[in-house]
Amino acid sequence: MDTTRLGPNQRRALQLLQQSQAGLTRTELQTQLAIPDLRTMQTMLKALRHRGLIHIATWRYESAGASCPACRVFVYGPGKDAPRPVALGKEECRQRYRNKIGRKLYNRVGEARKKGATRIVIDGVTVWQKGMGFARVNKENRV
């Protein structure tokens, strides 16, 4: 493994990956390294993979959005990259989204929308608004 001519962020990323048993995603690495630019982070990870210093151990689903993209989980050391998983279907993405926001809340919003509601307020907190979708609510305010 060729570690000559590595920049400080690359060295720090390798240290973080060595310390992590389960590996880290790009987002987790970017947060810990405090790198605000996505392109910089992608370029750095690509260079480390090209040198054989890191590889993709597995893929993890982090979001429950419409596209449900899988994120790469990087680990330290040479190895063969894990194959990319098959994309989730629309119904599975919907199911993950419903589970994320809570089945009860999702059903209440569905009933209110049928009656023509433009927003839903629970305990003084707007949880859904027409055109905006579900609001991110602190856990202590969540129903």
Q: Which domains are delineated in the chain?
A: 1-101 (1.10.10.10), 109-141 (no CATH)
63 pLDDT band, cuts 50/70/90, is: low
Of 32, 34, 116, nearest to 24 (Cα)? 32
Query: What is the rounded distance in angstroms from the CA atom of residue 80 to the CA atom of residue 59?
Result: 13
pLDDT on residue 141: 46
- Under a CB-based contact definition with an 8 Å cutoff, are residues 70 and 86 in contact? no
Residue 1, pLDDT score:
61
Strands 125-129 and 54-61: unpaired
Q: Calculate the average pLDDT of the chain.
A: 83
Q: Say if residues 109 and 80 touch (Cβ distance below 8 Å).
A: no
Confidence check: pLDDT of 65 > 60? no
Helix (H, G, I), strand (E, B) or coil at 129: strand
pLDDT band at residue 133 under the 50/70/90 scheme: confident
In angstroms, rounded to a whole number, what is the distance separating the alpha carbons of residues 45 and 43?
Answer: 6
pLDDT at 126 > cutoff 70: yes
Contact in structure between 143 and 105 (CB atoms under 8 Å) = yes
Range of lowest pLDDT (2-6, 77-81, 119-123, 138-142) = 138-142
